[in-house]
Structures are given as C-alpha cells and as structure tokens.
Structure 1
C-alpha cells in the first residue's frame, strides 16, 4: 500500500483525480481487477470531472485519502434533510482489501453526523451486487425496500442488463 498521509475534504481542484479514481475503481479498462468494479453490469464512465465539480456545493462534501503517489480513496456525502446520502465510495484497485474503504466510510459517517447533523445515513446499491450489499450490512446498513430503475438520466453509464435496479440501504445514527 502507498501509505496514506491524510483524509481531508477535497476541493474542485481535485475533480479530475477523483473522477479518474472512481472510474478506475468502478469501471476499469483492460485487465484491472478489484472486487468493487461493475464493468460487467454497466458500461461507460461512472462519473466525469464535470460531474465531480458539480458536487462541490452547499450540503455536499467529498472526502479523499491522499497518499504519496496521489489519491487512494474517496467518498461523497450529501445532506438530504435529516439524512445524508453516502456514495461514490472508491478505493484505488491496487489498494483494496486493506481497510481503506472501511476507514473512508467511517470518516463519511462522522462528517455526516458532525457537520450535517444527520440522524440517518443512506446509500444506493446496485441489485446485482450482493457482495457489496453484504459489505454494508456488516457495517450496520439495511435494505429499506425502496428501489428505483437504473438512473439512465444521471449520465453514470448504461446498464448491460435490463433487470438492473438501484436499492436503498440505511443506517440510523
């Protein structure tokens, strides 16, 4: 692992690096492997630098873990009333399975409660990712029963399966 130096709030200057990290973690090209990627389920970019830049607004924060060679991990937190959505949790594939994702998720939960006063944490998970759902369940999240079709309108890729849905998970704080 490229020993991390700090976790801090990102700025719009980090947008290109965040987009590259998220796309590498979720939709890698070639033979990059990682347990978090969904390239077989969704094609296209997960996020563009412009979409990342749009996340820098009131009620929205991105945390990044910086290492000697650049960004190792990131996570997005967005306030929604008394809840906060946590998403875009990504770890550099070469640094996965070392606890960085768990560390970033914990940091996001702390920020959500301390900065935004969240009473509940929410996230969205693809239906065809049972290992990801299990990962979040081990951290206290549970399915809410709320499901939506894959968000084609959001510009986050094209599903390769017609039955792909997005499921909501939540955790009280």
Structure 2
C-alpha cells in the first residue's frame, strides 16, 4: 500500500468508475450502475481530493498493476473512509479486505479510535460486507447529495453511516 499522488488521478479515476459504475460482471459485485448513472468521480475531482487533507492509499498487485484504492481522512476522533474500490477483475481475492485492514491501521497510527464510512442503503450486500468486518450501523441516515458530483440517482437514495471501534 502506497499513498497516491495527483499524477495518479487518471488511473485511479478509471479504476473507481469501473468498480462503482461499470457493468455487473461475474467478477464484479460492487457496481452501482443500477442505482446511479454517470461517473462516480472525475479526474479533476480526484486530483482535488488528492491535494486535500486526506490520503488515498493504492494497492498494486505483484506486477505493479493498480488493483484497488481507499481514501482516508482523520475527522476529529474518527477516521472517515471512502472510495474503497477494487478492480472488478481483482475482486473476490482479498484486495478489499487488505484495503480495509490498511485503512484501520492508518486510523490507529493517526490516533483515531473509531473509523466510519457512508454506504448506500440500497446496497444490502455491501452493508453486510462491512458488518462482517465489524462495522455497525449508527442510525445516522442522510439523503444522497443533491448534486451530480457523484452521479445522478435513478431512484431516491439514502446514505447510512457505519462505524467500527478500533480497540
């Protein structure tokens, strides 16, 4: 796992958009294309994110090919995790688990006793995946942002906040 740089924006944006908005394939279970249309993130948005307060960690396979990424940002006593993406061809190989473990280690290294993530309520399989990894629903719900920055919803959507105590 290594930190991404603004120069990584084109390849990271392609990976994130493929993971979140690509067509569902036998290898991919993370697509949101049935819920949202348009790209998940633009190269410009990603370059701005990479110059912000958080860190994008990238996962490379043995040949050096980008296979996943996760964005982490300390927010007070907790670390906020977002944009966890795994290339569809690398899914079901433990890359997501590896990314999550590194995000949790990053939180501990930065003195954050808790880690949080927002997940679409219409993604029960993804909610279940995080719950299997020790994340719990906080009861906090919010409407999906009324902007096209993350895509256009095909239906009303909510984000649920999940947290994990890192003790």
- TM-score w.r.t. the length of structure 2 is 0.93
SS in 2 for 1:22: helix
What's the CA shift for 1:32? 4.4
Are 1:107 and 2:102 matched, yes or no? yes
How many aligned residue pairs are there? 164
1:58 CA displacement:
5.4
For the aligned residue pairs, the C-alpha RMSD in angstroms reads 1.5
Distance in 2, matches of 1:155 and 1:24, equals: 16
- The residue that corresponds to 1:83 in the other structure is 78
Q: Spell out structure 1 runs of 4+ moving beyond 6 A.
A: none
Q: Note the residue ranges of structure 1 that are not aligned, 5 or more in a row.
A: 1-6
Task: Verify: 1:56 aligned to 2:74, yes or no.
Answer: no
Is 1:8 aligned to 2:12, yes or no? no
State the shift of 1:112 in Å. Answer: 1.8
**Partner residue of 1:38?**
32
Q: 1:70 aligned to 2:65?
A: yes
Matching residue within 135, 152, 168 for 2:161: 168
Partners of 2:29 and 2:15 in 1: how far apart?
15
- Separation in structure 1 between the aligned mates of residue 7 and residue 146 of structure 2, nearest angstrom: 27
* Ranges in structure 2 where 5+ consecutive residues have no aligned partner: none
- Please give the residue correspondences for 1:143-158 in structure 2 after superposition, counting only pairs within 5 Å: 143-153=137-147, 155-158=149-152
Q: CA deviation at 1:53?
A: 1.1
Q: Distance in 2 between matches of 1:120 and 1:143?
A: 13
